[in-house]
Amino acid sequence: MKLLNSQNLQNKLRDKFIKSGVKMIGPETIFFSNDTKIGKGVTIEPYVVIGSKVKIGNNVTIKSFSHLESCKIENKVEVGPYARIRPETILKEGSKVGNFVEIKKSVVGKKSKINHLSYVGDSDLGQMVNIGAGTITCNYDGVKKSKTIIKDKVFIGSNSSLVAPVKINEESIVGAGSVITKNVKKKSLALTRSAQTEISNYKRKSK
């Protein structure tokens, strides 16, 4: 009976949002909460789960296999596919969160992009920030959680670790593969990378 009631509720919610203009591709695979709020011009692709306390603005696209809970999505935002937006997250207007990205308790500024394979937690990102693939904010030291602050127009290279508490100031660049443990000054390049070693004419040992 509970399963039947749940199915009936989901069907009612789907019908309500379709009538309000939400475009759903495969509506039977999309799940809402009673308190979900959705604006105009929104597209939701198949296999999306929207938990409680989610507010979605206008002209938003939620791509397949994404999970949202207790978050605010402002206008003209693109989420997914395969994105997880966790509680106390705000995605500002024009931002983009791509595939296999997890955001928790963070603000992603206007027109900022986190496109691939990244974890951003307990962070404040400014406007027009670009986060490279494989970047993580190291927000938990085993005892407490600390904050990462990334200011406007910062570029974070791929496979970087930002060890909180840390602040990356405006228009700075973090080189790919870096582990950043100290604040980065405005318009600076921060790079932590060992020198590449190359041995010419190297022969592998035979078994």
Is position 67 annotated as part of the catalytic site? no
Domains of the chain: 1-104 (2.160.10.10), 124-190 (2.160.10.10)
Return the HEC string of the chain: CHHHHHHHHHHHHHHHHHHCCCEECCHHHCECCCCCEECCCCEECCCCEECCCCEECCCCEECCCCEECCEEECCCCEECCCCEECCCEEECCCCEEEECCEEECCEECCCCEEEECCEEECEEECCCCEECCCCEEECECCCCECCEEECCCCEECCCCEEECCEEECCCCEECCCCEECCCECCCCEECCCCCCCCCCCCCCCCC
* pLDDT, tens digit only, all 207 positions of the chain: 354 468 899 999 999 999 999 999 999 999 999 999 999 999 999 999 999 999 999 999 999 999 999 999 999 999 999 999 999 999 999 999 999 999 999 999 999 999 999 999 999 999 999 999 999 999 999 999 999 999 999 999 999 999 999 999 999 999 999 999 999 999 999 999 888 899 999 988 877
Catalytic member of 69, 116, 146, 170? 116
